[in-house]
Amino acid sequence: MHDSWLDCPLRASDAFRTTRAATPAARYRLDIPTDARQALATRWLGLGLAALIAAGVLSILLVLSRTPGIARVLPVADFFQVALVAHVDLSVLVWFCAFAGMLWTLNSAPRALRVATWGFALVAAGTAAIALAPFAGAGRPVMANYIPVLDEPIFLAGLVVVALGVAVVVLRGMATSLPVRLRLDGGDALRFGLNASLVATAVALLAFVASFAAAPSSLAPKAYYELLFWGGGHVLQFTWTLLMLVAWLWLADATGARVPLSPRVVTLLFGIGLASVFATPLIYLAHDVGSIEHHRLLTWLMRFGGGLAIPPVAAAVVLALARHRHVADDAKPLRASLVASLVLFCAGGGIGFLISGSNVKIPAHYHGCIVGVTIALMGLAYLLLPKLGFARPSGRLATWQPCIYGGGQLLHIAGLVWSGGYGVQRKVAGSEQVLRTTQEIAGMGLMGLGGLIAVIGGILFVAVMVNAMWYRVDAAPLDLVR
């Protein structure tokens, strides 16, 4: 009787603490194959870097064309929308698809690799056409949401080829994805997230096809491409969000932080996002693609279905980082990327609640969210380099790069929000911005300063990656900044 739980409350408490201590936190990480899948994944990473380099060159023209004073001196405003189209598609669509292709390749069985190679070749060829189209085509920009286009053969052919390549990769990935075990661990949860992103991308491609079949070709280009890309573009946001959440959990684990979420809870959160994707066909069946209801329901689906999984994962990662403050030197670039991604994505999400009317608050919102995903993938690239056989990013530059890029983007969107409060319109440049007041000029000046800093941060990312990839895993990279 003296040993009962009722008679020994202190001992019961000790036993509870012992039970909790005996249950280690889940490890959110994936094993990387060392066969031909690794070589193909490296090609995908190289394609993503090439797209970012091309987008970075175009981004310099974009920032200059909207910065007060400079835009009057340099004749770049006329090229603004043409450059903007290629910049967005390269830095968002191609970069994200290339990184997704790398992760899907690593998370697949070693089968049908020739098919995977064909898919990569198609995406690479389409990317080259998109990058060259602003300089070789007729340059008729259409600023459609999600996927802006140049309404001319070279660019459109490149976009179709990229879509075909992604379709090949997705079908192969769904057929060869590694199974998720019933007894879940952290790796199984991440695999489920990557498998869910495959399904989301497949649904997005089907939505593009359905919109193409239903949208009247007689519409003006702006209205036509808006209808064509609205549905699939919304669904693609689920893909990017799932990849970002996988990156957050993996990066947190790599820094030594233990996320206080069980694999089952993480899998459930991923499943909520995946379940929301399956509402897309119902929306297409219930409403015509040109109807207000179609547009509104897809917006609500992305806002509520896609957003449900983010706050719990973000809160758990922040708590894990707060509890684990000591980070090894080689993990500091990973932590910096993770923190910058969290800050930018949350800032972009918060700005979304401030939007009213069509002004530059809208690009501030999606710049924050998109850059949040981008920085998470940049950090994951740093993590994967030594696992792919390259040297580990080292030196202070690798740690400062996410801070410079993220800080510049934060100033960029702050300037846009400031200017948007005074009604400065989106998707215009140079004299078309009609900056009347000192506040408007100051806001857009801050935007330009932040954009230039972000461009520097993007260049530094490429420099760190190229420096590390120049050496193999057993060779030390150049110490760019110590």
pLDDT tens per residue across span 148-191:
999 889 999 999 999 999 999 999 999 998 888 878 888 999 99
Which residues lie closer than 8 Å to 342 by C-beta, 6 or more apart?
A: 248, 314, 317, 318, 372
What per-residue confidence (pLDDT) applies to 325? 80
Reading the block at residue 395, the tokens are: 């030196």
Spell 229-245 as b/e; 16+ CB within 10 A means b. Answer: bbbbbbbbbbbbbbbbb
Which amino acid appears at position 151 of this protein? Answer: D
Contact 455, 408 (CB under 8 A): yes
What per-residue confidence (pLDDT) applies to 21? 42
Q: What is the mean pLDDT of residues 350-368?
A: 66
C-beta contacts of 336-339 below 8 A and 24+ residues apart:
336/379, 336/399, 336/400, 336/401, 336/402, 336/403, 337/251, 337/375, 337/376, 337/378, 337/379, 337/380, 337/382, 337/402, 338/248, 338/251, 338/252, 338/255, 338/376, 338/379, 339/402
What per-residue confidence (pLDDT) applies to 421? 55
Residue 357 has pLDDT above 70, yes or no: no
**What pLDDT, in 10s, does the model give residues 213-228?**
999 888 898 899 999 9
What per-residue confidence (pLDDT) applies to 10? 38
What per-residue confidence (pLDDT) applies to 465? 92
Listed in order, strand segments (DSSP E) in 145-187 are 149-150
Residue 457 has pLDDT above 70, yes or no: yes
Confidence of residue 69 (pLDDT cuts 50, 70, 90): low
Q: What is the mean pLDDT of residues 458-463?
A: 90
Q: What is the mean pLDDT of residues 201-224?
A: 92
Q: What is the mean pLDDT of residues 106-116?
A: 93
What per-residue confidence (pLDDT) applies to 13? 41
Domain map (residue ranges) of the chain: 335-482
What per-residue confidence (pLDDT) applies to 76? 47
Could you write out the three-class secondary structure of 372-435?
Answer: HHHHHHHHHHHHHCHHHCECCCCCHHHHHHHHHHHHHHHHHHHHHHHHHCCCCCCCCCHHHHCC
Q: What are phi and psi of 177, to 5 degrees?
A: -65, 145
Q: For residue 295, is it left (φ>0), alpha (ψ between -120 and 50) or beta?
A: alpha
Interatomic CA distance for residues 68 and 255, integer angstroms:
42
Residue 398 has pLDDT above 60, yes or no: yes
Interatomic CA distance for residues 467 and 480, integer angstroms:
9
Query: What share of the chain has pLDDT > 90, as a percent?
Result: 45
Handedness of CA 246, 251, 254, 257 (dihedral sign): negative
Residue 443 has pLDDT above 80, yes or no: no
Residue 385's closest CA among 480, 461, 291?
461
Confidence of residue 428 (pLDDT cuts 50, 70, 90): very low
Residue 29 has pLDDT above 60, yes or no: yes
What per-residue confidence (pLDDT) applies to 14? 46
What per-residue confidence (pLDDT) applies to 433? 46
What per-residue confidence (pLDDT) applies to 164? 97
**What pLDDT, in 10s, does the model give residues 234-248?**
899 899 999 999 999
Residue 12 has pLDDT above 60, yes or no: no
Listed in order, strand segments (DSSP E) in 133-188 are 141-142, 149-150
Between vectors from CA 469 to CA 255 and to CA 245, what angle results, nearest 5°? 35
What per-residue confidence (pLDDT) applies to 95? 94
Residue 272 has pLDDT above 60, yes or no: yes
Interatomic CA distance for residues 327 and 254, integer angstroms:
10
Interatomic CA distance for residues 262 and 28, integer angstroms:
10
| Poorest-pLDDT segment among 140-144, 301-305, 390-394 | 301-305
**What pLDDT, in 10s, does the model give residues 76-90?**
445 677 878 888 899
Residues present in the chain in total: 482
- Terminal alpha carbon distance of the chain: 65
Query: What share of the chain has pLDDT > 70, as a percent?
Result: 79
What per-residue confidence (pLDDT) applies to 414? 80
Mean pLDDT, the chain, whole residue set: 82
Confidence of residue 6 (pLDDT cuts 50, 70, 90): very low
Interatomic CA distance for residues 28 and 441, integer angstroms:
46
| Poorest-pLDDT segment among 16-25, 50-59, 275-284 | 16-25
Highest mean pLDDT: which range of 32-41, 65-74, 433-442: 32-41
Interatomic CA distance for residues 458 and 480, integer angstroms:
16
**What pLDDT, in 10s, does the model give residues 226-235?**
999 999 998 9
Residue 119's closest CA among 136, 102, 95, 144?
102
Task: Give, for 82, the enclosing helix (H) or strand (E).
Answer: helix 80-88
What per-residue confidence (pLDDT) applies to 353? 65
More confident residue, 358 or 453: 453
